[in-house]
Amino acid sequence: MSALTTTLVLWFRTLLINGLVNCFIFLFAEGIQGFMIAFVSTVGSLFVTAPLLVPMFFLLKWFKKLPYHFTDRAVWLAFMLVAMAASCILFASFVLDGPNFLTDEVVLIFLFSAMVAAALVVPVCINRLRQYDNF
């Protein structure tokens, strides 16, 4: 299991979890219409988040080199992914909405779901990460 394939798997599953969380939230907030919007936005995020594959790839390279136990490295990876997802959304919202972007509810929902997805993807892919670590 190479770094590239593991990166792709991690990235795709993060988007999937993010999409699921978004669909849940928008389903409650807006009904079926909101669900559809969240679904379309998940498909769109495949293209928008593609550049994040590069930092994710390097994170995985470092993940293998860190002088810590596997579990601690997994926690570190989850933390770095959460930090990366949060900073990307905050930066994008700041550019689009200006300095008061944190008052926007939609931004907060996206921020929450992205952070949850980034945190959950590591336990979800733990076996794949173990395979990559032993590769």
Partner 1 sequence: MPTTSKKTWVLLFVLGAVLFNILLWQEKIALNAILFDAFLLGMLIYLYAGAFKKTQVLLMLLLHLTTAAALLWHNTTLSKIAFLTSFGLLVGFIQYKVRSALFAAGGFISNIILAAAGISENVRTSTHTNTPNKRRGRIGFVVLPLFIIVVFFAIYRSSNAVFATYTNTVFDRIAHFFENFFSYFSFGRILFTLLGFYCTAAILLKSRSRATESREAGYSDSLLRNRHKYYRSTGSFLYTLSVAITGKLAKGMLALKNENTIAIISLLLLNILLLAVNGIDVYYLWFNFSYSPNTDLYTMIHEGADMLIVSVVLAIVVLLLFFRGNLNFYKNNTWLKRLAWLWIVQNIVLVVSVFLRDYYYIRELGLAYKRIGVLFFLALVLVGLITAAVKITQRKSAYYLFRVNTWAVVLLLVAASCINWDVFITRYNIQNHQTARLNIPYLVTLSDDILPEMKQHLGLLKQREDTLNKQGYYVHMEDARKKCSQCIEETINTRIQQYLQTQKKYSWLSWNRKDAAAVNYLTQNQ
Applying CB under 8 A, which residues contact partner 1? 20, 24, 27-28, 31-32, 35, 66-69, 71-73, 75-76, 78-80, 123
Distance between CA atoms of residues 29 and 35, nearest Å: 9
Are 121 and 14 within 8 A, CB to CB? Answer: yes
CB of 11 to partner 1, least distance (A): 20
- Residue 59, SS3? helix
CB of 113 to partner 1, least distance (A): 14
Tokens of 93: 């919202």
Distance between CA atoms of residues 37 and 65, nearest Å: 40
Q: 29 vs 54, which CB is nearer to partner 1?
A: 29
Q: 47 vs 65, which CB is nearer to partner 1?
A: 65
Distance between CA atoms of residues 68 and 89, nearest Å: 29
Distance, first Cα to last Cα, the chain: 6
Tokens of 79: 């933390």
CB of 89 to partner 1, least distance (A): 15
CB of 74 to partner 1, least distance (A): 8
Q: 1 vs 78, which CB is nearer to partner 1?
A: 78
